[in-house]
Structure 1
Amino acid sequence: MTQNLSQEGVSRAQARSAFLHNYYNAVPEQVTALDGDASFRRYFRIIHEDSRLILLDVAPEVGDVHAFVELNALFRKGAVRVPHIVAADGALGFVLLEDLGTEHLADRLGAQDDDLEYYETLIEMLPDIARLPESPHMKPYDATFIDMELDIFSEWLLTHWLNYEVTESWQRQWRALKKTLISTMLEQAQVTMHRDFHSRNIMWHQQQWVVIDYQDAVQGPVCYDVVSLLKDCYHTLPEEQFEHLQRHSFDVLSKAGLITDSSYTDYQQQLALTGLQRHLKAAGIFARLYLRDGKPGYLRNILPTLQYIYDAAKCVDTFQWLATCVQSEIIPLTKAKLEPLK
């Protein structure tokens, strides 16, 4: 088995070298692997003479770059700044992109007093994304898919990582919670959403914001991207800033005609429950990245994400069981799991 994996690695490296040689008509001077992507995608920085590009590498047996390429064109037509594609080979799974540098929104936060302005500007970008037409490259974001996302939490974080005993009573309440969250998300206006619109997927390049990792865009609830941005698993906003930006997002989406029949109070509730769904999924994914994919770097994001879950659940009468469970059992178990890894 080790030999087969090694051979596959060599074969992929050879395919990558052939693709680059075909583009440059030479062997590039420098090819550097980049870390940090929470998926099967691999990225390399390519430097040759005065050219600096990024290579996206997705082996065909594990993924497909066609959505990445097609949705890139869709976002650009909608005036949303995304990386420029220089060359692509969908069959081989390679895409050459402009090099946007290394500065993400996450890197700029807290350095100056501009955080609020950054977030306001990014919120004002959301109607441009929301108005993008549906694409055949967008997967269905329906009740079945939302339910599957939620079960990542119970399967990977609770069962596989924490060895938490899920009782019959817990399962009954969990099913009721999922039903409520699914209804909340499907009852909202359905628009195009980036789906991972957070501080690590927004880059600062040539004095403007550029959106990356857009390839999982779908049609879904209107406030989902707001939740991704304002309740970011990688950065927690001060409460006063969150309250201001939550109101700003409502005003921006309302003015754009994307929210027409909800009061601000209704919107706050939708935002909270949509966030609860997203954070349950995210906490499970962080555990799955560690257990299945050998990526321990995301484990440190589980506790802040569990805090979001607790904060949302404690405000809903029928979710008090989850708030209590998270506070008294899941968070302590998580801390105990993380302690040896420090």
Structure 2
Amino acid sequence: MNRYKSLQQFLNPHFEDEVYQLAAITGDASFRRYFRLNRGQDSYIVMDSDPAKLDNTPYIELNKVFSEHGFKLPKILHADEKQGFFLLSDLGNTHLADMLDDKERINHYKHLIKLSAQWAKMPPVEHMKDFDRAFLELELSIFLEWLVEGFLELEVTAAERTLWQTSCELLIENILAQPSVTVHRDFHSRNIMHSEQQWAIIDYQDAVQGPVCYDLVSLLRDCYFKLPHDELEYLLEHAFAEFEQQGLLSNISFATFKQWFDLTGIQRHLKAAGIFCRLNLRDGKLGYMDNVLPTLRYISDVAQDHSSLVELGKWINSKIIPATLVALNKVPTK
């Protein structure tokens, strides 16, 4: 309540004595809170990002960099960096997630593949971490800690731990083998917006230097929406051609590209499934638990297509998914 009062004190000077309405926007997975501010016909987004919990410097600095390179992002209109309050432009209410039943879906994805390639070509700047081995090991550990041992309360056997370590090494080597580019890290249907006939990007502050296939996985193997198989295959071939044309790939076969894509997806989805459970157990956010099973099934299905990861897929399918089904029945109703 005290922080909300401080937020109002931040806003009041920018609107003088004008009456405005503030309504909470739900659904963010971080510690940030968002509000929509309406004043007459005008609307804005207000972000509460407590600096005691989050470093806001990347949000501010990367906003400048990406905007200068022509990407449409929320504009920072006013900021109190010390308190972590931001007044942003309002990009509207339409996310890619709201357009997935559109007859133009394939064309939307084609435009976004091109946008992701342009994003990838951004030169590295300060505040972009490297997606290196230590970073990858940390991300993969989230799955065991928060899903297997935390949410499912399973004890990992010695054989399973060996399988896990071997599989993680394969996934890490796959990622490190790829060209390193600028990666958004969460380039999916809930972070891509359609605003004023343009595609706009939000939640960009965790951008890193990482594998060329990562954002493509976020887009085409979205944890929140599953593309039909034939559309996925078509768009993956389209992306390969686009990435070649944009100079992101050189002397790489489509088969190699597909393997990079598949195994990058397994790494990302292991991390994502763990994060969904962490949001539940640590942060009390239950809304992401509906996405755990579809994400685990992605892992199981894709792993079976790669001989080196078949055993990982079997473990997920025979032990982790059944245990998850049982555990989800015990999760309180949202």
Question: Which secondary structure state, in structure 2, belongs to the residue aligned with residue 124 of structure 1?
Answer: helix
2:212 to 222, 238, 243: 222
> Which deviations, in whole Å up to 9, do the C-alpha atoms of 1:136-167 show, x marking residues without a partner?
11223211011100010011000010112201
- 1:64 touches 1:90 (CA, 8 Å); kept in 2? no
Map of 1:155 onto structure 2:
145
Question: Which secondary structure state, in structure 2, belongs to the residue aligned with residue 55 of structure 1?
Answer: strand
Map of 2:166 onto structure 1:
176
1:28 Cα offset (Å)? 4.7
Superposition TM-score, scaled by structure 2 size? 0.96
Question: Which secondary structure state, in structure 2, belongs to the residue aligned with residue 22 of structure 1?
Answer: helix
Map of 2:59 onto structure 1:
68
Change in 2 beyond 3 A, CA 1:149/1:240: same
1:27 Cα offset (Å)? 6.3
- 2:33 touches 2:47 (CA, 8 Å); kept in 1? yes
Paired residues for 1:64-143 under 5 Å: 64-110=55-101, 112-143=102-133
- 2:167 touches 2:312 (CA, 8 Å); kept in 1? no
Map of 1:244 onto structure 2:
234
1:50 Cα offset (Å)? 3.5
Question: Which secondary structure state, in structure 1, belongs to the residue aligned with residue 93 of structure 2?
Answer: coil
Read off the aligned partner of 1:234 and give its amino acid letter. Y
Map of 1:263 onto structure 2:
253
> Which deviations, in whole Å up to 9, do the C-alpha atoms of 1:300-320 show, x marking residues without a partner?
001110011001211222222
- 2:45 touches 2:88 (CA, 8 Å); kept in 1? yes
> Which deviations, in whole Å up to 9, do the C-alpha atoms of 1:67-119 show, x marking residues without a partner?
11111111112222111221122221112111112111011111x31110110
Read off the aligned partner of 1:17 and give its amino acid letter. Q
Read off the aligned partner of 1:59 and give its amino acid letter. D
* 2:178 paired with 1:185: no
Alpha-carbon distance in structure 2 between the residues aligned to 1:23 and 1:176: 56
Read off the aligned partner of 2:135 and give its amino acid letter. F
Alpha-carbon distance in structure 2 between the residues aligned to 1:194 and 1:95: 21
Paired residues for 1:179-328 under 5 Å: 179-328=169-318
Map of 1:43 onto structure 2:
34
- 2:37 touches 2:43 (CA, 8 Å); kept in 1? yes
Read off the aligned partner of 1:73 and give its amino acid letter. K
CA RMSD, aligned part only?
1.3
Map of 2:157 onto structure 1:
167
Alpha-carbon distance in structure 2 between the residues aligned to 1:183 and 1:38: 29
Alpha-carbon distance in structure 1 between the residues aligned to 2:18 and 2:27: 26
Read off the aligned partner of 1:46 and give its amino acid letter. L
After superposing the two structures, state which structure 1 stretch, 228-237 or 86-95, moved more.
Answer: 86-95
1:204 Cα offset (Å)? 1.1
Superposition TM-score, scaled by structure 1 size? 0.94
Question: Please, which runs of 5 or more residues in structure 1 have no aligned partner?
Answer: 1-9
2:13 to 5, 22, 35: 22
Question: Which secondary structure state, in structure 2, belongs to the residue aligned with residue 191 of structure 1?
Answer: strand
Question: Which secondary structure state, in structure 2, belongs to the residue aligned with residue 293 of structure 1?
Answer: coil
Alpha-carbon distance in structure 1 between the residues aligned to 2:131 and 2:85: 27
Map of 1:5 onto structure 2:
none
Question: Which secondary structure state, in structure 2, belongs to the residue aligned with residue 83 of structure 1?
Answer: coil
- 1:46 touches 1:54 (CA, 8 Å); kept in 2? yes
Map of 1:331 onto structure 2:
321
Read off the aligned partner of 2:186 and give its amino acid letter. D
Question: Please, which runs of 5 or more residues in structure 2 have no aligned partner?
Answer: none
After superposing the two structures, state which structure 1 stretch, 128-137 or 183-192, moved more.
Answer: 128-137
Alpha-carbon distance in structure 1 between the residues aligned to 2:177 and 2:95: 33
Percent identity between matched residues is 45
- 1:80 touches 1:128 (CA, 8 Å); kept in 2? no
Question: Which secondary structure state, in structure 2, belongs to the residue aligned with residue 91 of structure 1?
Answer: coil
1:49 Cα offset (Å)? 3.2
Map of 2:135 onto structure 1:
145
After superposing the two structures, state which structure 1 stretch, 16-25 or 188-197, moved more.
Answer: 16-25
Read off the aligned partner of 1:80 and give its amino acid letter. F
- 1:186 touches 1:221 (CA, 8 Å); kept in 2? yes
Alpha-carbon distance in structure 2 between the residues aligned to 1:315 and 1:164: 27
1:55 Cα offset (Å)? 0.7
Change in 2 beyond 3 A, CA 1:74/1:28: farther
Alpha-carbon distance in structure 1 between the residues aligned to 2:19 and 2:58: 27
* Count of aligned pairs: 332
Question: Which secondary structure state, in structure 1, belongs to the residue aligned with residue 130 of structure 2?
Answer: coil
Alpha-carbon distance in structure 2 between the residues aligned to 1:138 and 1:80: 17
> Which deviations, in whole Å up to 9, do the C-alpha atoms of 1:310-333 show, x marking residues without a partner?
012112222222111111111111
